[in-house]
Amino acid sequence: MDIEKEKEKGEKEMKGIIVAAMAVVFMTTLAMADELRVIGCYDTIRDQETITLNGWANLPYNFGFWGFVDFTSNRGDQRGVTNKADLAGFYTEFNLHYKFKLDNNAKKQLRLMAEINDGSAASAVLRPGLQYFQITRWGNFAFKALPYKVDLVAQNPVPDPSGQIGLAWRINLHRRVYFEGFADLNWFWKDQKDFYPFIAEPQLGFNLTERISLAAEYRYANLTPHMDDQGLGLGFEYRFK
């Protein structure tokens, strides 16, 4: 029993170190960001508040950075957690990538990338892979293929090896209206059956000013079998840059 407690304590300490390191990298890079946004939403279905910090930066030598962190309240939790708007939960995803121009065109890029995911209800993982990014006259989109994941924190039981493909987009429907979001589909390399973990968050926004927008976001996730979690976030976005 003492061995198990020590092991659990060691895993928590390692996770804390990883989270702290990621926070330093994330905030330092966002200080040089080409775009930095904060989004505040209330989920009318899940009864949760969420604050999201999102940004990207062009770095020297064809490198780039993109990432976000969600801070979420425990409202709507079905496991008996105290119903408080304390924003105690979090989830972060960011990637460092190297950009190759296609046809010598900066608007069409193939990116070699390393993505890190972590959260209060998940363990930190590294996902290496490729991303295709393109800017068009109506907006931009990015398609990523991350065939494998590496656990950065030891887990017991050890999860099955998995991969992920994802699509992210932003479409300018009008001078004041935009449609953006992402969708990620996961699969398992062993014993893959009919269940494919999937999460999507399409958002419709209306620009009130150059920096402020109103936003409505549909949220869907089926990260475990027989799970059908949906939400509807209503809020605002503020762009610092």
Q: CA dist 118 to 64, 80, 121, Å? A: 20, 23, 8
pLDDT of residue 1: 47
Looking at residue 217, its amino acid is E
Average pLDDT over residues 222-240: 89
State both tokens at 130.
């490729």
pLDDT of residue 158: 75
- d(C-alpha 16, C-alpha 162), whole Å: 24
- d(C-alpha 74, C-alpha 76), whole Å: 6
State both tokens at 6.
């020590």
Looking at residue 148, its amino acid is Y
Count of domains for the chain? 1
The tally of CA atoms less than 13 A away on the side-chain side of residue 153 is 23
174 contacts: CB under 8 Å, gap ≥ 6: none
Specify whether the CB–CB gap between 11 and 4 falls below 8 A: no
pLDDT tens by residue, 69-127? 888 886 654 554 555 556 677 888 989 999 999 999 989 999 999 999 988 877 889 99
pLDDT of residue 120: 80
Question: Residue 91: which of 163, 184, 179 has the closest Cα?
Answer: 184
The secondary structure element, H or E, covering residue 20 is helix 2-30
- d(C-alpha 225, C-alpha 198), whole Å: 11
- d(C-alpha 87, C-alpha 120), whole Å: 11
pLDDT tens by residue, 192-228? 788 889 999 999 999 999 999 999 999 999 988 777 7
pLDDT tens by residue, 43-77? 999 888 899 988 888 989 999 999 888 888 866 54
pLDDT of residue 168: 97
Look up the domain containing 84 and give its range: 2-239
pTM of the model: 0.82
pLDDT of residue 89: 79
pLDDT of residue 10: 54
- d(C-alpha 170, C-alpha 176), whole Å: 13
- 233: CATH: 2.40.160.40
For the cut 60, the answer to whether the pLDDT of residue 15 exceeds it is no
- d(C-alpha 24, C-alpha 30), whole Å: 10
